[in-house]
């Protein structure tokens, strides 16, 4: 299987363009906020300068993004068996649909927060003085700040969006992408994949300190 075929299996019904647009818009907001704060910071005599510069350091917390990521994945562990069972039990279809929409909203919100944070981190990476915000994210994801570290963060954040986008299609209320690919596998593969995912999510949740 080549890369194009693999991406086709993962691609949600809406495609990858919304993800690109998300980063252009929300990461752009993060970049703009830091640049504006830096301009204000040059006005050291202005009483509001420290307030707005401090707002950057108080922006989207890495721990909150981590919490939202784990929460989204835990909801996914609830959603997957419910959605799979709804294919055979019509009485739970409406419940499964509601849970899928809720889980998708959590994944979307988490990836939105990550996109804004990525824009902030991208600018701070090239700011001469060390930023408290950059240090906070280092403690969660990075051993040191680098472009590669930000690319890794963008990849993880994009995976969250991909899962959310695959959970629910507005066009037909079904699933697509990675979720549809999983459900198309034999029941044994689906079960083993689900147990592996659940074990990994639980380990991720309890290993945070």
Residue 187 has pLDDT above 70, yes or no: yes
**Of 204, 202, 166, 118, nearest in space to 16 by CA:** 166
Q: Which residues contact 120 (CB under 8 A, 6 or more apart)?
A: 30, 31, 33, 34, 56, 59, 60, 133
Question: How many CB atoms neighbour CB 106 within 10 A?
Answer: 21
**What tens digit of pLDDT does each residue of 114-173 get?**
999 888 888 877 775 666 677 777 766 665 667 778 888 899 999 999 999 999 888 787
Tell me the mean pLDDT in the region 88-95. Answer: 88
Residue 103 has pLDDT above 90, yes or no: yes
**What is the distance between the alpha carbons of residues 96 and 83, in angstroms, rounded to a whole number?**
5
Tell me the mean pLDDT in the region 7-17. Answer: 82
**Of 174, 172, 171, nearest in space to 183 by CA:** 174
Question: How many CB atoms neighbour CB 14 within 10 A?
Answer: 15
pLDDT for the residue numbered 73: 94
Confidence tier at 104 by pLDDT (50, 70, 90):
very high
The pTM (predicted TM-score) of the whole model is 0.87
pLDDT for the residue numbered 108: 94
pLDDT for the residue numbered 45: 60
Query: What percentage of the chain reaches a pLDDT higher than 70?
Result: 82
Sequence spans of domains, the chain: 10-207
Distances (CA, A) of 155 to 2, 89, 114, 149, 162: 20, 36, 10, 10, 10
Confidence tier at 74 by pLDDT (50, 70, 90):
very high
Confidence tier at 174 by pLDDT (50, 70, 90):
confident
**What is the distance between the alpha carbons of residues 66 and 70, in angstroms, rounded to a whole number?**
6
Confidence tier at 182 by pLDDT (50, 70, 90):
confident
Residue 53 has pLDDT above 70, yes or no: no
**What is the distance between the alpha carbons of residues 97 and 167, in angstroms, rounded to a whole number?**
10
Residues 75/198, Cβ–Cβ less than 8 Å: no
């Amino acid at each position: 299987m080549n890369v194009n075929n693999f991406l086709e299996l993962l691609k949600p019904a809406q495609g990858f363009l919304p993800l690109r647009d998300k980063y252009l818009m929300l990461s752009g907001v993060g970049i703009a906020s830091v640049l504006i704060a830096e301009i204000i910071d040059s006005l050291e005599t202005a009483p509001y300068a420290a307030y707005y510069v401090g707002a950057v350091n108080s922006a989207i917390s890495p721990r909150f993004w981590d919490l939202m990521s784990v929460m989204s994945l835990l909801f996914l562990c609830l959603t997957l068996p419910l959605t799979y069972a709804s294919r055979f039990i019509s009485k739970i279809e409406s419940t499964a649909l509601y849970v899928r929409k809720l889980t998708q909203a959590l994944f979307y919100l988490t990836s939105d927060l990550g996109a804004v944070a990525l824009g902030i981190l991208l600018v701070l990476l090239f700011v001469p003085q060390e930023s408290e915000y950059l240090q906070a994210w280092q403690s969660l994801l990075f051993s040191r700040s680098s472009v590669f570290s930000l690319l890794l963060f963008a990849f993880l954040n994009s995976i969250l969006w991909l899962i959310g986008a695959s959970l629910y299609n507005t066009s037909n209320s079904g699933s697509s992408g990675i979720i549809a690919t999983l459900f198309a596998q034999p029941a044994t593969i689906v079960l083993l994949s689900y147990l592996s995912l659940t074990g990994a999510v639980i380990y991720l949740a309890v290993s945070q300190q």
